[in-house]
A = this chain, B = another copy of it.
């Protein structure tokens, strides 16, 4: 394998077996990214299956950049157990490549829990990071994004964890979205400091006494308003909010569909509505996000939706490249030093 990373060349390992439409979408999405940007791509998974996808689309790709793996971690498997047992899976091997400096980034649309656990135990955390975090962009009324952290990496956070999420996502937003000193809200049931419970009040104190741009408490209604650049919460609520938010567009489609069946006039109206909604909600399309980064890991780790499309995979890989070029991991390491 000629993929030993150097400063001048970015090496991205892509989990060809991850997600509901692997290896089709994963391989082709990664190749699409390679046709857009210059980097070294490693494809991890069943060599024959990967070759079949490449051949079917007449894509030429160096065989020594396909890394054959034999174990398969399914979407519903228990993360820790899978990582322990399936050592020759694309998820474990991809993480090890980053750990061993043979790749800068690992991108996977596989089992989210397994990718997170592998990132923590195989790649390892940046020194000073108690807990890594997944940061998810929510579209907002200001036509920008509100970044929710933690969006589901780990549940049952302590105040110091939430404070850590704020530090990590603050740097992430600064480096990747060029927002200087991004504002941080703490998700709570009311604006007043005495609202919520022990976790929120203790986190609030930590944030208030830090050099971060802490706004104070924000409520559920403030995320889509874009009241602050970043919203901090425990991974349990973050994961539920993310999945709830993702279910809104399908709900809207179902609702408009039922409405259109009520009459011909409704049907015509709904036809126009579909076009307008598609256009208006283009930023809400998760395919464009480029996956969710796992921050605080000593390397680039991007986790994609299980149902990732070819476009989603492409954008995830390009996001990894951008993180490499903008030296995100190095900059996070600096502030924690």
Contact = CB atoms under 8 A, between A and B. Distances in A.
A141 to B, nearest CB: 4
Interface of A: 76, 78, 113, 139-141, 143, 152, 155-156, 187-192, 194, 196-198, 219-225, 233, 235-237, 239-248, 250-252, 254-256, 258-260, 262, 266, 268-273, 275-277, 279-281, 283-284
Chain A binding surface SS class: helix
A188 B155 CA distance: 10
A247 B248 CA distance: 12
Contacts of A271: 272
A229 B140 CA distance: 30
Nearest to A258: B143
A187 B244 CA distance: 11
Contacts of A269: 272, 275-276, 279
A235 to B, nearest CB: 7
A219 B243 contact: yes
Contacts of A189: 152, 155, 235-236, 239-240
Contacts of A219: 240, 243
A221 B221 CA distance: 18
A256 B277 contact: yes
B259 A241 contact: no
- Integer count of this chain's copies in the complex: 2
A320 to B, nearest CB: 25
- Report the 8 A-B pairs with minimum CB-CB distance, sorted nearest first: A220-B243, A272-B272, A273-B276, A220-B244, A259-B280, A220-B240, A273-B273, A141-B254
Contacts of A155: 189, 196-197
Nearest to A242: B220
A189 B237 CA distance: 8
A157 to B, nearest CB: 10
A242 B219 CA distance: 10
Contacts of A279: 259, 262, 266, 269
A225 B143 CA distance: 27
B247 A244 contact: no
B270 A280 contact: yes
A276 B280 contact: no
Contacts of A141: 250-251, 254-255
